[in-house]
């Protein structure tokens, strides 16, 4: 990696939720490798601490904070800590998410609310509380939605609804910040099935895991699951100066799934 690439995000502070594994961890590693100071947050404290420790051992600037994205007080504490320790926030990646199956007839109200609390209310609270700090310097918010926020899936009623909410929340935030002159861009990323612990749990809980995984792989014209680095690369682009005129947009990372 060239020196210019490794310092591309020097002096920038990035906050990544759900960073203990999967897309969040891959994104944190990519930002750190490009010179950003990365704040990893998650409810999985042990895994999150280990991820941040690993980045520091590689010579990067990284720290971990326990963070329940469904709680407003938790968001306030995290943003206040970032303000006190670093004085700024340049990049917010609302990545934390959960996946629960069930058609509209099968899903319970409890499951519906639990999925929306993480997937929709989490990004809402993140944008709401981060903007106050971010508007001091400008920056970029990236909300991780899903192809399920663009196209429907019969067995994912709550998940589709929550990710669709993220898609339109993103556009509303982008317009608000632009019209207020904050210098904050807000965009969304829409992965298809990606090889993460969440998808692994979905596969493992199926009555025929091997066949189910093959179905997920074959759903994309690329013939494979996405890799967390595939999605992290799109997030990195949206956070970079290369995307300075990209706002309120959605980037689909799905191997061509939604093109069919």
How far apart are the C-alpha atoms of 76 and 78, rounded to whole Å? Answer: 6
Choose, from 159, 193, 212, 237, the residue flagged as catalytic: 159
The token duo for 37 is: 């100071």
| 237 a catalytic residue | no
Q: How many CB atoms lie under 10 A from the CB of residue 155? A: 12
Residue by residue, what is the 3-state secondary structure of 170-184?
HHHHHHHHHHHCCCE
The token duo for 7 is: 């310092």
The residues pairing with 42 across neighbouring beta strands, listed in sequence order, are 66
How far apart are the C-alpha atoms of 127 and 28, rounded to whole Å? Answer: 19
How far apart are the C-alpha atoms of 59 and 36, rounded to whole Å? Answer: 12
CA torsion 19-25-30-36 (nearest 10°) is 30
Catalytically active residues, by annotation: 159
């Amino acid at each position: 990696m060239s020196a210019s690439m490794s310092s591309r995000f020097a002096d920038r502070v990035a906050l990544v939720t759900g960073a203990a594994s999967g897309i969040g961890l891959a994104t944190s590693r990519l930002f750190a490798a490009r010179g950003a100071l990365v704040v990893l947050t998650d409810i999985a404290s042990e895994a999150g601490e280990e991820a941040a420790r690993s980045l520091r051992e590689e010579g990067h600037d990284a720290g971990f904070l326990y963070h329940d994205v469904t709680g407003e007080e938790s968001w306030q504490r995290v943003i206040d800590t970032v303000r006190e320790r670093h004085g700024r926030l340049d990049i917010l990646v609302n990545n934390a998410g959960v996946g629960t199956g069930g058609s509209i007839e099968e899903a319970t109200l409890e499951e519906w609310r639990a999925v929306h609390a993480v997937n929709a209310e989490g990004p809402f609270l993140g944008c709401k509380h981060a903007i106050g700090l971010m508007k001091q310097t400008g920056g970029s918010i990236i909300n991780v939605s899903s192809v399920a926020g663009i196209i429907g899936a019969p067995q994912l009623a709550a998940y589709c609804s929550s990710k669709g909410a993220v898609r339109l929340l993103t556009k509303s935030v982008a317009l608000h910040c632009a019209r207020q002159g904050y210098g904050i861009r807000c965009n969304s990323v829409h992965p298809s099935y990606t090889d993460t612990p969440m998808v692994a749990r979905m596969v493992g809980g199926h009555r025929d895991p091997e066949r189910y995984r093959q179905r997920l792989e074959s759903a994309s014209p690329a013939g494979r699951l996405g890799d967390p680095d595939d999605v992290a690369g799109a997030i990195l682009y949206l956070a970079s100066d290369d995307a300075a005129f990209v706002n309120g947009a959605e980037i689909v990372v799905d191997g061509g799934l939604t093109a069919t």
